[in-house]
Amino acid sequence: MHKESTDVFGPEYVVRVKDAALGMEGFLVIHNTALGPGKGGIRMTANVTEEEVTRLAATMTWKNALAGIPFGGAKAGMRWPGGTDEKKKAFVESFARLLKPFLVKKYIAGPDVQSGEREMQWFVEAAGNWRAATGKPANYCMSVFGGEGEKCGIPHEFGSTGFGVAHAARVAAELAGISMKGATVAVHGFGNVGTFAYQFLTEMGAKAVALADARGAVYAKDGFPRRMVGKVIAHHTPLLRALPSNRIAPEAFWKAPVDILIPASVTDVIHAGNKDGIRAKIIVEAGNIPMREPIERELWEKGILIVPDFVANAGGVISSYAEYRGYNPKRMFELVERKIVQATSAVLKKSMRTKRNPRAVALEIAQKRVEAAMQKKSGD
């Protein structure tokens, strides 16, 4: 447990924890707490690295600043080799106990890859503090700080991130002069974020023509029947099993001619090997860090309108703030829509006006807000 610094913003803390008896190893990076406690999910993958968590923690600082919510940026990662629910629960509980000195005041956990509402419940119970994590089950309620009534969880399984991504895509399409009615969409990653983005976009009138999950990709020039895709989502059926006749090679997915491309899967999914084939007019980054910055800049210079990750996928952390404040789901969705639309509009309009990369514009806005908070804090 030690303090490190790489630039004026952070990270403030890089924490490495180990439970030798369980074989659990994890990281917590608290990037910046000028605006409030560091907020970011717990990523549970076999190969999660400190470098990955550090990049994600910084992204959370800018995401929260841009969304205008009083959270700083942080991220956690736990090396999860896979196993039984009992083993996973033991890992999460151990992680929570080891991070206890930082919880609530410096760090508030949340869901991420392979961690959802039940893991958040395990986490807060092991930490002994309702506020140690957001994204808890909707039926998990508790009286907090002696206030009237009970506060209940708002799980990310409600679709707040995908909902926000869909509204970011709508704003981008409007600014690009593309009608959402009939707009063609490709979604890479068909988990929580990708499926909800698909559902909300199709409700807006868009047509999904290319979909991909961890096992493969499918394509239909005229779009997929919504009822069939609805069954895929409801039963968690792999796309190739449900739509075998629509199968395409995974690399062909990126070449689909679409209006809107939504990478909603893993870090660096767009890379040197597939970037040149991309034919989308708009990329809405639903997943965190779907490509490295030089590649993103190259695609923007080719004329692709890009909504950066920390603008587009802030719905989850806005939902977290709503849960933290004790809002109900209806009020949460209203807050997500308002803040995502405001942030996306501000960033893209300034980008178009100044002819600057949207990420640079968004980062500048976010950094100014964090700088102001840091100066105020140092003057207190």
What residues act catalytically? Answer: 75
Tell me how far apart the alpha carbons of residues 273 and 251 are, in angstroms, rounded to a whole number: 9
Residue 122's Cα: distance from chain center in Å? 21
The rounded distance, in Å, linking the Cα atoms of 129 and 138 is: 17
For 238, the token pair is 């792999």
Give the Cβ contact number of residue 118 at 10 Å.
Answer: 18
d(CA 208, CA 256): 11
Distance from chain centroid for Cα 318 = 11
| Closest CA relative to residue 188, chosen from 251, 264, 249, 112 | 264
The set of residues, in sequence order, having a beta carbon less than 8 Å from that of 72 and lying 6+ positions away, is 30, 31, 32, 33, 34, 35, 36, 37, 38, 39, 60, 61, 64
